Amino acid sequence: MMALLDRLCGSNSPRKGAPVLRAQRGFSLLELMITLTIVLILGGFTFVTMQPSLRQSNVNSAYDTTLMILRNYRSQAITQRKQYIVTFNAPNSITVTYQGVGTPIAPPPVVVQTATLPINDTVRYGIVAGVPNTAPTVPDGFGIGAVPIDFDYGPGGAGGGNYVKFMPDGTSQDVNGNLNSGIIYIGRPNQLNTMRAITIVGATGRVRGWRLNVPTAGAPTWIQQ
């Protein structure tokens, strides 16, 4: 009878009392706990090693967003024959307004866009120790690396402004019609190698991006991107 049952169930079916192979009985609780521990350790190590890259990615995202907004509204001012004011609000936001033209009184500006730098990080408009701080060493020679948002360089202006106004001819001006040049710095607190900068030249409205090169030896220098 047993022989007949063996033939019906298959030759691979274990008999009662026969030893069970390791592959058939699966993993023990101890083995599962060891495997889970190894996975958690590897995951934690990967997370820690990825943090610098993630932080740098947030800085790049903030820099790209700021650069894109400036270039976009300068282009729209030219193509649409309108005036757009881009205002930077410390520590991490941008407001764009459309400035209409009226006679004899111009209408109030209308907000057309707002933007905020990465909210889950400490990326901000700011300066850290070690940034070049002399006129020959700062991007395009605007300021001395002391003010994070530093516009209003032009006739009658000595810096310290927080906005630029793009005109239909492509220039950047202030509210009084004077050419408005300046610079804005972007980075993470106390991390010199994350620093970025953007300059605007009032006479042309040209927008340029910069990255701070921090060598292992020697002074940090700005490199145009």
Task: Evaluate whether 212 touches 225 at the Cβ level (below 8 Å).
Answer: no
Could you state, in order of their start, the residue ranges of all structural domains in the chain?
53-224
Closest CA to 77 of 62, 59, 98, 93: 98
Q: CB atoms < 10 A from the CB of 208, how many? A: 16
Let me know: does 212 contact 195? Beta carbons within 8 Å.
yes
CATH no. for 53-224:
3.55.40.10
Average pLDDT, the chain: 84
The predicted-structure confidence for 158-213, as pLDDT tens digits, reads as follows: 889 999 999 999 999 998 899 999 999 999 999 999 999 999 999 999 999 999 99
Structure tokens that stand for 134 in this block: 């002399």
Give per-residue pLDDT as tens, 17-59. 555 555 555 667 777 777 777 777 766 655 455 555 556 778 8
Record the pTM: 0.75
